[in-house]
Amino acid sequence: MALTVLIIGCGDIGITLGRELLDKGHRVIGVRRHVEVLEGTGIEPLALDLDTLDDADANALPQADYVIYTVSADHFEESAYRSAYPAGLKNVLKVLEQHKTAPKRVLFVSSTSVYGQQEGELVNEESPTESTSFSGVLMREAEQALIDHPIPGTVVRFSGIYGPGRDRLIHQVVEGRVAAITPTVYSNRIHRDDCVGILTYFIDCQERNQPLDSLYLASDCEPAALHNVMMWLASQLKVEATQTMQSPLRRRTSKRCDNTRLLGTGYTFRYPSFREGYMQVLKAGGFLAAQKT
């Protein structure tokens, strides 16, 4: 049966998700401030600034079977994060609760920035979320707003998202820069297409009445030292590392994400580790061809 899916914050992940849902025969509405980028995608555009959303107007958002909240903050500033996450999500929920028929589920794209662990600890959905950054604190506030709301909701904490167009790490390696061996800094990653795959899979789970938890940690199956990831990239690109790169202290976190709960739903990763995922990016982006010339 065709579903109506409302994607709020329809950027890279939202557009890719929308196309996948359209291929399944569903109707997709994409909400963003500037909708020109949606032309030709098949996604129905809805131009809306969440800062001006009238949460008292039930018609401010169309009724939908599923709502995906995948908004990005405009800037790395506290005011931008507050607007995009707790404030924006709470306003959306106020509109949705006025609809005659509530969505079957709201999916909120969150982040592993809610964790503050720095010593390589293994973290899962039950681990303390004691981020000292405003981004992590505000993201956690938004998560709780959905978890506490009567409309069924699931928070999906994605780790570092990479994929086509998200290739900063590759460019650093091309320039000969790699992370230091010590101290060991663990990184956690998920390919953009797995982000899309998980969101699509959760909709399918709901449709077949498979129980879903209110929170999932979504990261690939191999937490890895950042140095090892970059050295693997260097070997594929046939680049010699000439410069050691130190992370700014304010951004230095080190944890290992455990995706056991997600795997327990039956989801199969398209790219189970950084090797498969980055190989796709290297090939699609022409990086390997560039190294041969």
Sequence-separated (6 or more) residues with CB below 8 Å from residue 228: none
d(CA 213, CA 147): 10
pLDDT band at 248; cut points 50, 70, 90? very low
d(CA 74, CA 257): 27
Q: What is the pLDDT of residue 250?
A: 43
Per-residue pLDDT tens for 10-43?
999 999 999 999 999 999 999 999 999 999 999 9
Helices (H) and strands (E) in the chain, counts: 10, 15
pLDDT band at 241; cut points 50, 70, 90? confident
CB 135 within 8 A of CB 77: no
Instruction: Catalogue the E-assigned strands of the chain.
Output: 4-8, 27-32, 44-47, 66-69, 105-111, 121-123, 153-158, 160-162, 177-179, 186-187, 189-191, 215-218, 224-225, 243-245, 255-257
Find out whether the peptide bond into 183 is cis, omega within 30 degrees of 0.
yes
Q: What mean pLDDT value characterizes the chain?
A: 94
Tokens of 237: 């690109």
Mean pLDDT of 178-207: 96
Question: Taking each helix axis from N to C terminus, what angle separates 274-284 and 226-237, rounded to the nearest 10 degrees?
Answer: 40
Mean pLDDT of 97-124: 96
Sign of CA dihedral 50, 56, 60, 63: positive
Name which residue leads in pLDDT, 21 or 182: 21
Q: What is the pLDDT of residue 47?
A: 96
Q: What is the pLDDT of residue 243?
A: 77
For residue 193, pLDDT over 80 is answered with yes
d(CA 203, CA 193): 16
Q: Is the full-model pTM beyond 0.75?
A: yes
Return the percentage of the chain with pLDDT > 90, whole number: 86
Return the percentage of the chain with pLDDT > 70, whole number: 96
For residue 107, pLDDT over 70 is answered with yes
Mean pLDDT of 73-102: 95
Cα 95 vs. chain centroid, distance in angstroms? 23
Per-residue pLDDT tens for 48-87?
999 999 888 999 999 999 999 999 999 999 999 999 999 9
The architecture that CATH gives domain 4-165+189-222+256-271 is 3-Layer(aba) Sandwich (3.40)
d(CA 96, CA 150): 11
Per-residue pLDDT tens for 198-233?
999 999 999 999 999 999 999 999 999 999 999 999
For residue 170, pLDDT over 80 is answered with yes
Q: What is the pLDDT of residue 290?
A: 61
Length of the chain: 293
Q: What is the pLDDT of residue 20?
A: 98
Mean pLDDT of 96-106: 96
Say if residue 268 is exposed, middle or buried (CB neighbours under 10 Å; 0-12, 13-18, 19+).
exposed
Q: What is the pLDDT of residue 252?
A: 59
Sequence-separated (6 or more) residues with CB below 8 Å from residue 79: none
